[in-house]
Amino acid sequence: MRTNTGLWWLLAAFFALMAVTYTIWSIIAHPDVPWFHGVEWVGSVALLFTAMMGSLIAFYLGRVHRAQGGNLPEDVLTADIDDGDPELGEFSPWSWWPITLAFSAALGMMGFAIGNWLLPIGVGVFLVAIVGWVFEYYRGHFAR
């Protein structure tokens, strides 16, 4: 986490330096107009905001690292791969329901783009997929 914080601070400093360089360069490139008309505002503001967003992420990561009170397994040089591998729960690689959910989301988005008549079909497929996914392991009275 400390390395990530350092990298984000480095990126923020780089983009701030590039914002200053870009602004000065655009002023120099247009010597025939006043300086405030020579600035290319879109690029200068975009680079400045990129630096501000990078510093926001760096500040957040620094605060999270300080609040954890310790290093993550990725930051310890003697850590194994299994130290940072949490239990993610049960996953069925043979399940078809995530594909059905993706298909229902695609139908819903196509309903927004093509026509509203497609949206209820996507909602219906979504409901079928959710019910099938929830009851995938339910066998009830038919369990063996």
92-130 tens-digit pLDDT: 777 788 889 999 999 999 998 998 899 999 999 999 988
pTM here is: 0.55
pLDDT band at 18 (very low <50, low <70, confident <90, very high): very high
**What is the dihedral sign for C-alpha 66, 68, 72, 76?**
positive
For the segment 23-42, the average pLDDT, to the nearest whole number, is: 88
Sequence-distant (6+) residues with CB within 8 A of 68 are: 1
pLDDT (tens digit per residue) in 43-67: 999 999 999 999 999 999 999 888 8
Question: What pLDDT does residue 73 have?
Answer: 78
For the segment 29-42, the average pLDDT, to the nearest whole number, is: 86
Question: What pLDDT does residue 77 have?
Answer: 83
CA distance 48 to 66: 27
For the segment 132-142, the average pLDDT, to the nearest whole number, is: 69
| Residue 109: C-alpha distances to residues 5, 12, 80, 114, 115 (Å) | 37, 36, 43, 9, 10
CA distance 132 to 127: 8
Query: Contact at 8 Å (CB) between 105 and 126?
Result: yes
CA distance 80 to 74: 9
Query: Contact at 8 Å (CB) between 72 and 80?
Result: no
3-state helix, strand, coil in the chain (%, to 5): 70, 0, 30
